[in-house]
Amino acid sequence: MTNLFSVEGRVAVVTGGLGQLGTEFTRSLAAAGAKVAVYSRRPFSRVQVAEKWPGLEDNIRIYVADVTDKAALEAATAALEADWGVPHILVNNAGIDSKPDGGAEQNAPFEVYPQKFWDEIINVNLTGVMLTSQVIGSRMAAEGRGSIIMVGSMYGMVSPNQALYAYREERDGKPFVKAVSYAASKSGLLNLTRYLATYWAKKGVRTNLVTFGGVKTGSFDREFIDNFLQRVPMGRQAEIEEFGGVVQFLGSDASSYMTGANLVLDGGFTAW
């Protein structure tokens, strides 16, 4: 039974693997015996890999590729195939959001929200996932196996609760609105997941979405955390280590009959 959950010897791609979530997904998969190819917009040396993931450097390699650049994705994947073969697992993790401490434009009311920020976030969070899935998923389908894992957000299921951010206007004296683009991009992943799940099902490629809630980062105001935790039934944020297991599960044979699903890890936030 234990072997059902094994990813030993499998090749996994993690996009945005140098970010907070990507670092954990890379660590947990490599520690479980997978060979992990991190797709990153910036180069990262072997020494840096050893410093970031001590003891796992033999199982982790960095390939420079921007998820919005199909030619770069093709080149990185060709290099990966030459090194380790066609991937078994794709974790579509790369994503961006408006910065909470960004300018007023980034967090502007919907009526005046600039298109340039919409375009930037949709391009990475949705178009980038489509392109990466095209490049790697097609190779998986040709091999007759594979697991594509979409990294979603609770804001892909429910609209951002603007009351969580109301303290910003009271404190700073200017409007602060959680912007529309992030929620729109993550909700788009719901149906992209279902589309690919049905499209490639008979070719052995499974596609599932993981919807994550708030995780401890140390980058949020205390007021926001207090407001947020009042709306989480479990009364706490997730520890980053709590997210790796579900990715390993979806990459393993334990989820062999699961495709088109949405697994929610949000402490119960969307249950209310």
Point out the residues that are catalytic: 182
Token pair in block for residue 67: 């998820």
Token pair in block for residue 70: 């199909």
Name residue, tokens 């094994």.
6
CB 71 within 8 A of CB 64: no
Report the alpha-carbon distance of residue 68 to residue 135 in Å, rounded: 12
CB 72 within 8 A of CB 81: no
Element (H, E) at 232: none
Name residue, tokens 């699903």.
261
Report the alpha-carbon distance of residue 86 to residue 215 in Å, rounded: 32
Largest CA distance in the chain: 58
Report the alpha-carbon distance of residue 246 to residue 180 in Å, rounded: 28
Q: Estimate to the nearest angstrom the gap between the alpha carbon of 114 and the chain centroid.
A: 25
Among candidate residues 211, 208, 245, 209, the one with its CA nearest the CA of residue 28: 245
